[in-house]
Amino acid sequence: MLGNFTYCNPTKLYFGRGAIENLNAELPKYGKNVVLVYGGGSIKKNGIYDEAVKLLRAHGKNVAEIAGVMPNPTVGKLYEGMQIARAHKAEFLLAVGGGSVCDYTKALAVSVHCEGDPWEKYYLNGEEPSCKVLPVGCVLTMVGTGSEMNAGAVITNPETKLKIGHVFTDEAVMPRFAVLDPAYTLTLPHYQMVAGIYDIFSHICEQYFSGEDDNTSDYLAEGLMRSLLHSSRIADKDMQNYEARSNIMWTATWALNTLISRGKATDWMVHMLGQAAGAYTDATHGMTLAAVSLPYYRRILPYGLQKFVRFAVNVWGVDPAGKTERQTAEEGLSAMERWMRGLGLVMRLSELGATEDMVEGMADSTLVLDGGYHVLSRDEIVGIFKESL
Ligand code: NZQ
Ligand code: ZN
């Protein structure tokens, strides 16, 4: 590990069955005017809404609601929420949902007191907040993004076909606390569960496939990937397996809570490609990543060969004896492909609604980053999208 860095993660986690009861310790710390933010209604069906509301009432909170935060939350929904939070004189925002609800709530936290247009300020210009940031708490119901313990907030502008993630550097944007009850994730449909599992795996890969130094983060990443593969195989067959689901939940948090990126350049090109596809299709985030990953990794493999060999051996158990480095590396990606297909991930963008005529536009929407093993040209981006269709 050669780089210098700062590490601080102020989010307090409450993990395990019944963890929501810890709202009793957290709610008194914040003002009376609370905005409860949630998605399209899953929390009403599975009873989590009732539990949260009961605790908010018990603490005498004056609660307004922002309901209907959609997967891949839009800038229009953000503007709507700003009006509700301003009218309510919000002092605390409680997100109850998945990554979309948590992301949206963090975006709202920096927008309620923002004087200009938050889309322009935070997303187009990448600025940090210069206004008061409202405190956020999260009760997580869907596992994958790591949003519960990071400062990321992805917002989509469907008109300009841009899906942009801003990872704020201001620690005030990170949730003050997060409630992680694995039992809350047991009502997720299989499709969402596996999309979340792949999102976790991709987050780890995005940080792992960069740099050539000997870095503790890479050993941590390999351990997280092995744990995830193990638990994912159990959960795929037995979705109600609490042990597997709880390990997946914990892995998701560590995959993207800033720890394993320390001292690393990090890649993130799978996410840039996936987000561009998401802006055009509004598809489930983890599935967009699954569809573009293998065409991307097969293309960059020659540039990061040593790391792909290490990945094959340490994560997938490929025996390198008698093989060239290239063969070992490719076997690793083949093993990854078998695992992905076994889980039932969507391996083609066309199955998510992408069409040939969208390719040029998706390429235009793809932000090109330079932290990985190879900086993609526009032709390569177009090529990857075509191979992913
Ligand atoms: O809206 P409801 O009715 O709640 O249904 C949701 C939604 O349809 C459902 N769901 C959630 N919990 C459930 C449940 N259904 C049954 N039982 C439960 N317990 O699942 C669907 C998907 O939820 P969503 O929050 O959209 O999924 P996810 O957690 O994958 O979040 C995706 C968003 O996070 C962003 C993505 O781009 C996308 O916008 N990301 C955020 C990141 C971050 N903050 O660091 C990083 C990620 O790479 C990602 O980009
Ligand atoms: Zn992701």
pLDDT at position 1 is 79
Which residue's C-alpha comes closest to atom 8 of ligand 1? 71
Does ligand 1 have an atom closer than 6 angstroms to the CB of 144? yes
Q: Verify whether ligand 1 is closer than 6 Å to residue 154 (CB atom).
A: yes
Tokens read off for 66 = 């922002």
C-alpha 290: how far from chain center:
13
CA–CA distance, 374 with 353 (Å, rounded to integer): 28
The dihedrals phi and psi of 165, each to the nearest 5 degrees, come to -105, 125
Own/partner long-range contacts of 323-327 (Cβ < 8 Å, ≥24 apart)? 326/301, 326/302
Residue of 11, 77, 78, 145 best suited for mutating to test ligand 1, as the one with most atoms within 8 Å of CB = 145
Considering the entire predicted model, what is its pTM? 0.98
pLDDT computed for residue 377 by the predictor: 98
Ligand found nearest the CA of 99: 1
Please check whether residue 350 is in contact with residue 335, taking contact to mean a CB–CB distance below 8 angstroms: no
Q: What is the mean pLDDT of each run of 10 residues along the chain (389 residues)?
A: 88 98 98 98 97 98 98 98 98 98 98 98 97 98 98 97 95 97 98 98 98 96 98 98 98 97 96 97 98 98 98 98 98 98 98 98 97 98 98
268 lines ligand 1 (CB under 6 A): no
**In this predicted structure, what is the pLDDT of residue 68?**
98
Tokens of 109: 């936290």
DSSP state of 154: E
Alpha-carbon gap, residue 279 to 107, rounded angstroms: 18
Q: What is the pLDDT of residue 34?
A: 99
d(CA 86, CA 264): 39
Per-residue tokens: 268: 């993130």
Q: Note the pLDDT of residue 338.
A: 98
Provide the CA 110 distance to its chain's centre, in angstroms.
Answer: 19
pLDDT given at position 2: 77
